[in-house]
Structure 1
Amino acid sequence: MIRVGIVDEQPVTLQGIRFALEQAEDITVIVAATTLQQLDASTLDVLLVDADLVGGLPFTALVDLMSSYARAVVTSSAGFGPQIQTCLAAGAVGHLDKASELGRFAEAVRTVMARGRLEASQPPSPTLGLSTREHAVLSAIADGLTHGQIARRLGISQSTVDTYVKRARAKLNVANKAELTRAMVAGPRGRRA
C-alpha cells in the first residue's frame, strides 16, 4: 500500500482528492489536512501539498519541508508558474494541476512511487524564472565571488549587481545571501539527501 498525505487549504478540494485516491486499491490516505502542522512525515510515502500553503515560506524552510518527505508533489490551480518552479527547486518531485481528472491523482502517486519523479506539466526553467543577468550574478555568488568581483567580471557597476541580487531575492523569496546561494546550488531539480 502506498501511504499518502494530502494538504490543501480548501476543504472541498481536499475531500475531492481524498475521494479520488481512496478509489485505488493500492493507495491509502493516511492524513487529509488543511494545515502543514497536521502532518507526520514518518508515516507517508507521498505528500500532495497545495502550493498556496507553501508559497509564502522562505526558500530554506521550503527545502526543509520538501526534504522531510520522500516524495512531495505540489498541487495548484494557478498553473505552472514561479511558485511551482520554486517548489521544484526546493525538492518537490512534481507538479499536478488540481483541475486534472480524478484518476490522474492516483496515477501521479503511482508514478512518483515507481520513478521517483512526476514530469511537470511544463518543464521548470533552469533559471528559476530569473533573467539571464540575474542568473549570471547568482551563479557568481554561488562560486564565492564578491559583488565587486562580479561587477568587474560582467563589466557592470556594483550597484547594478546589487539590483540584480535584490530582484533575485524577491523572485526566489529568500532573505539573505546564504539562502540565495543555497537556492542556486540546489538548482531547479535540486534535492537534499
Structure 2
Amino acid sequence: MSTQTSRIAVVEQHSLVRLGLETLLSGSTLLTVVALAADPSELPSPAAQRLDVIVYGAPPVTGPSFAKTVDALALSGRVLVVADFAGWQPVTEALRAGAFGCVSKQADEEELLRAVETVALGGLHIAPGLATRLHSELRQPASTPAPALAHREREALRLLATGLTHGQIARRMGLTEATVSTYVKRIRNKLNVRNKADLTRKAIELGLLQDEEFRGNAALASGYSPAA
C-alpha cells in the first residue's frame, strides 16, 4: 500500500541554496518537490497546482513587503519561513502573516526536514533555537499603530530618506522650503522619530523605498544598511 507524499515548493533567490534544498527534501520518502522558484511570482497559481508546503527562503530585509509576501504565498499552501531572523525579521511577524513555521537559516538538515514534515501534516513548527525569541516577542507590549501620513507627507519622507535636502525636496515637489520643513516636523511627530536614520528606517518599513536606487541612496545618506 503506497503512502501519498506531500507536495513541496521551494522559493529561494539563490540558485545554489535552492538546489541544495531540493536535494535535501527530495531525499525524504514523505516529500515530493514539485516546484522551484527564485521569486514567489514564479510559482504556479493556486488553481493550477496544489501545494502542501511552500519553503520560503526569505531575504534579509523585511517590512510591509515581507508580510505581504508570506500572506500571498499562504493562498497556495502552508508556508515555512526559512530566514536569518535578525532584528528585521520578528518570528511573530511571520506567524501573523500566515506562516505555519519558522526555521533559522543556520538550522541543520534534520531540523529543516522535521519542520517541513510537521507543516505538511498541518502542524505548527517553531525551531527550538527561535523559541526563546518568540517568547520574548510575545511578552512585548503591543505597539500602537502610527498615525497615517498624508500623501504629500509620504512623498516628502520618501525624498528625505533618499538624501535630499529640504530645499531640494521643495523644488522637486513645487513647494516652499518652509512648507517642506512643516511637513518634516509633522512626520517626525506622527512617527515619533527624531533623527535621519530613524526616518530612513520608517520609510523602508512603510514600503516607500521599493526602488533599489532609492534604497542605495538612503543607506548612503543615513549610514544605515537594511541588511545590517
TM-score between the two structures when normalised by the length of structure 1? 0.62
SS in 2 for 1:82: coil
Larger radius of gyration: 2
Amino acid at match of 1:122: L
1:65 aligns with 2:64: no
- Structure 1: where are the runs of 5+ without partners? 142-157, 177-193
The Cα shift of 1:65 comes to 1.3
Amino acid at match of 1:2: S
Structure 2 matches for 1:91-130, cutoff 5 A? 91-120=98-127, 121-123=129-131, 124=134, 125-126=137-138
1:82 aligns with 2:94: no
SS in 2 for 1:99: coil
SS in 1 for 2:32: strand
Q: Does the CA contact (< 8 Å) of 1:84 and 1:95 recur in 2? A: no
Q: Judging changes above 3 Å, is the alpha-carbon distance between structure 1 residues 137 and 54 closer, same or farther for their aligned structure 2 residues?
A: closer
CA distance in 2: counterparts of 1:8 and 1:63, whole angstroms: 13
SS in 1 for 2:126: coil
CA distance in 1: counterparts of 2:88 and 2:23, whole angstroms: 29
Partner of 1:188: none
Partner of 1:32: 36
The Cα shift of 1:73 comes to 0.8
Of 13, 31, 36, the residue aligned with 1:9 is 13
Q: Judging changes above 3 Å, is the alpha-carbon distance between structure 1 residues 57 and 115 closer, same or farther for their aligned structure 2 residues?
A: same
TM-score between the two structures when normalised by the length of structure 2? 0.54
Partner of 2:55: 48
- Structure 2: where are the runs of 5+ without partners? 148-185, 209-228
Structure 2 matches for 1:142-153, cutoff 5 A? none
Q: Judging changes above 3 Å, is the alpha-carbon distance between structure 1 residues 36 and 69 closer, same or farther for their aligned structure 2 residues?
A: same
Q: How many residues align?
A: 153
Q: Judging changes above 3 Å, is the alpha-carbon distance between structure 1 residues 80 and 71 closer, same or farther for their aligned structure 2 residues?
A: farther
